[in-house]
Structure 1
Amino acid sequence: MSVIAQNLIWGVRRRTIVNDVSLTVAEGETLGLIGPNGSGKSSLLRLLAGLKSPGSGRVEILGQDIARVSRRALARQVAFVQQNATTDTNMSVRDVVRLGRTPHRSPLTGWTMADEAAVSTALEQVDMAGLRGQAWQTLSGGERQRVHIARALAQSPRVMFLDEPTNHLDIHHQIEILRMVRRLDLTSIVALHDLNLAAMFCDRIVVLQGGRVVACGVPAEVLTRSLLRDVFRVEAEVTPGPYPGQPHIRFMAA
């Protein structure tokens, strides 16, 4: 398994936000995290990536307890793509992606051919090589998100975490981004709001409610009419999609 979480508990003051969560993610799998607002998706993602420390429980990535691994060493294996990631300075696309090489370099080492190759490969993977010299501030929302995914890929990770990477993008760019993530030769864990996109692009789905896992499985098993009613408080018609195991959800008007 690429990622194993055991009995994770985390909270703020007296409020428990992630409550006894356990899960496993196989190598090369795309796992979706879904749930209502406040269900703990983003917090769980940060616990799994090592950006937060659990109150109790443990996370293993690639067979290592991440609590025993340095932040720098972990960043060579794991990349995190934030929701609506921004870059304040007006850097070029290439310079933004170059930042992903930081975990692999020390202050005394110069820029190497391996670094340049990693940046070039990352830009090609997200189809942004042709814009490598363009200023960040001139990019569209979808292009910016591609660049931040390229920056994550430049870390040469084996596991990538993405927190609502399609938020505020139009449907074309949402599908484009998730199709690209799906093609990558990585283990990916993605927090998503759109249930149909989760069904289209995730091998399995974990459903969170109140910080707990209430369902886990392939989309066709998890995204049922009763679960949508109980967890998301909506009435919906769930029908088979164009591909096996990939349901389509049609929400019903009140």
Structure 2
Amino acid sequence: MTVIAQNLVWGVRRKTIVNDVSLDVAEGETLGLIGPNGSGKSSLLRLLSGLKAPQSGRVEILGQDIAGMSRKVMARQVAFVQQNATTDTIVSVRDVVRLGRTPHRSALAGWTAADEAAVSTALGPVDMADLRAQAWQTLSGGERQRVHIARALAQSPRVMFLDEPTNHLDIHHQIEILRMVRRLDLTSIIALHDLNLAAMFCDRIVVLQAGTVAACGTPAEVLTQTLLRKVFRVEAEVSFGPEPGQPHIRFSGV
């Protein structure tokens, strides 16, 4: 397994936000995290990626307990793409992606041919190579998300965490970004709020409810009428199209 979490607990003051969560993710797998607002998806992502330390429990990535790994070593293995990242600084697309090379360079090291190659390679899968000189402020929301994924790719990670990367994007860009993530040769853990997108692009899904794991399995196993009623408190029809094992959810009254 690439990522293993055991009995993670984390909270703020007296409120427990992530409560005894355990999961594992195989190499090359795309795991989706879904759940109602406030269910703990973003907090769990930050615990799994080492951005937060659990109050109890442990996380292993590539066989190592991340509690004993330095930030620099973690950044060479793990990339995190947050939702709606922005900056007021006047920078180009290339400048943003160059930041992904920081974990691989010492403080006094100059920019190398290997660094430049990594940036160019990262721009390819996100289809932003032709816009490498364009100013960040002129990009659309979908283009900015693709650049942030390119910056993550420039880190040369083996695991990528994405926190609602399609939030506030139109449906075309939502599908475009998730299809691109699926094509990458990486292990990916993605927090999503759109259940049909989770069904389309995730190998397995973990459903969170009030900080605990309510269900875990393939989309077909997890996205049932009973679970949608219990966890999301909605009535829906679940049907299956031409893609084997891929459920489609139609909410009642829609």
TM over 0.5: yes
Q: Distance in 1 between matches of 2:226 and 2:192?
A: 20
Q: Distance in 1 between matches of 2:90 and 2:130?
A: 18
Q: Distance in 1 between matches of 2:60 and 2:241?
A: 34
Q: Distance in 2 between matches of 1:127 and 1:36?
A: 32
Bigger mean CA deviation after superposition, 197-206 or 83-92: 83-92
Q: How does 1:1-254 map to 2 (within 5 A)?
A: 1-253=1-253
Q: Which runs of 5+ in 1 are unaligned?
A: none
* Aligned alpha-carbon RMSD (Å): 0.7
1:234 alignment partner, SS class: coil
Give the aligned residue type for 2:194.
Answer: D
Note the C-alpha offset of 1:241. Answer: 2.7
1:185 alignment partner, SS class: coil
Q: Distance in 2 between matches of 1:88 and 1:224?
A: 44
Give the aligned residue type for 1:11.
Answer: G
Note the C-alpha offset of 1:242. Answer: 2.6
Q: Deviations over 1:73-112 (max 9, x none)?
A: 0000000000111122120000000000000011111001
Identical columns (%): 86
2:199 alignment partner, SS class: helix
TM-score (norm 1): 0.99
Give the aligned residue type for 2:33.
Answer: L
Give the aligned residue type for 1:32.
Answer: G
1:179 alignment partner, SS class: helix
Q: Which runs of 5+ in 2 are unaligned?
A: none
Q: Deviations over 1:166-188 (max 9, x none)?
A: 00000000000000000000000
Give the aligned residue type for 2:123.
Answer: L
The number of aligned residues is: 254
Structure 1 outlier segments of 4+, above 6 Å = none
Give the aligned residue type for 1:102.
Answer: T
TM-score (norm 2): 0.99
